[in-house]
Amino acid sequence: MNPTKLHEQFVLEKKKEKRFVRVTQVTIIVALIALWELASRIAWIDPLLFSMPSRIVTLLYEHITAGTLWIHASVTMFETIIGFLLGTIVGTCLAALLWWSRRLSTILDPFLVILNSMPKVAIGPILIVGIGPNIGSIIAMGMLVSVIITTMVVHTAFKEVDENYIKVLQTFSASKKQIFFNVVYPASIPVIISTLKMNVGLAWVGVIVGEFLVSKQGLGYLIIYGFQVFNFNLVFMSLLVIAILATIMYIFVEYIEKKMTKYNI
């Protein structure tokens, strides 16, 4: 068999494997939803506490047609995107600063570890007092959850760039700025993109917690309101919308990853 045929066979097998994985994933989701619906209808689980998919979809349709869902979802999505971008950008800039100054990195490393181990949720009330009970404190919460871990991961990637590449540029009297932008940063782009994937989930956690504490709009507010009035259909509906929006963000980041990887190759 010639190389062209082998390549075509390999591509075909990869497509089949990918199709099988997708079908299996969809089947698992459908089976779990059907089991949930059945368990609620025949009272295996309490339908008041755990609701059921049909009720959640009905409530979702009502909120969509009434226009209220768009208001809450757009507020949360805006806060999450801003917090996500700020967390990634600020974290990457801090990582670059630590790479630039080894002394500063040595001084701040223990503090970064301590800050990363602290529960970020506990800082929420301090942000509200400092910034005010407004959208700014919610965005700050979304950024805070991801900025420290981004700094640590990206800084590690900067430090692990092959020293031989750096030495080659140094032999040509390249400045530290030239070394960073021509070797260190390009070599670390895959790690930065991977950090984006991680920050999608972290930003959503930070923003939702921020909305728990202060917001009067948003999906986090709907969850808290649902618990307060014992409307668990509303809680599950909000969680469903969060899952859908977070998945969309993740797919978008994957698309960026493919484009950036292709560009770097």
Lowest-confidence segment of 117-121, 227-231, 249-253 by average pLDDT: 117-121
Lowest-confidence segment of 28-32, 130-134, 140-144 by average pLDDT: 130-134
Which residue has better confidence, 210 or 262? 210
Same domain, 41 and 115: no
**Is residue 196 a contact partner of residue 170, using CB atoms and an 8 Å limit?**
no
What CATH number is given to the structural domain containing 68? 1.10.3720.10
Three-state secondary-structure class, residue 207: helix
**Is residue 173 a contact partner of residue 97, using CB atoms and an 8 Å limit?**
no
Structure tokens at 237: 């509906």
**Is residue 214 a contact partner of residue 133, using CB atoms and an 8 Å limit?**
yes
Query: Can you give the pTM of this predicted structure?
Result: 0.81
Which residue has better confidence, 118 or 94? 94
Same domain, 24 and 96: no
Place 7 in a pLDDT band, splitting at 50, 70 and 90. low
Same domain, 22 and 34: yes
Structure tokens at 221: 């507010």
When pLDDT is averaged across residues 226-240 and rounded to a whole number, the result is: 89
Same domain, 184 and 110: yes
Structure tokens at 41: 């209808």
Structure tokens at 14: 């990869």
**If you count them, how many residues does the chain have?**
265
pLDDT tens track for 37-81: 898 888 888 887 888 888 999 999 988 888 888 989 999 999 999
Same domain, 143 and 196: yes
**Is residue 39 a contact partner of residue 207, using CB atoms and an 8 Å limit?**
no
Q: What is the number of structural domains in the chain? A: 2
- Exposed (0-12), middle (13-18) or buried (19+): which is 170, by Cβ within 10 Å? middle
pLDDT tens track for 148-192: 888 988 988 888 888 888 788 878 777 888 888 888 888 888 888
Domain that holds residue 229: 52-264
Place 27 in a pLDDT band, splitting at 50, 70 and 90. very high
pLDDT at 265: 46
When pLDDT is averaged across residues 135-156 and rounded to a whole number, the result is: 87
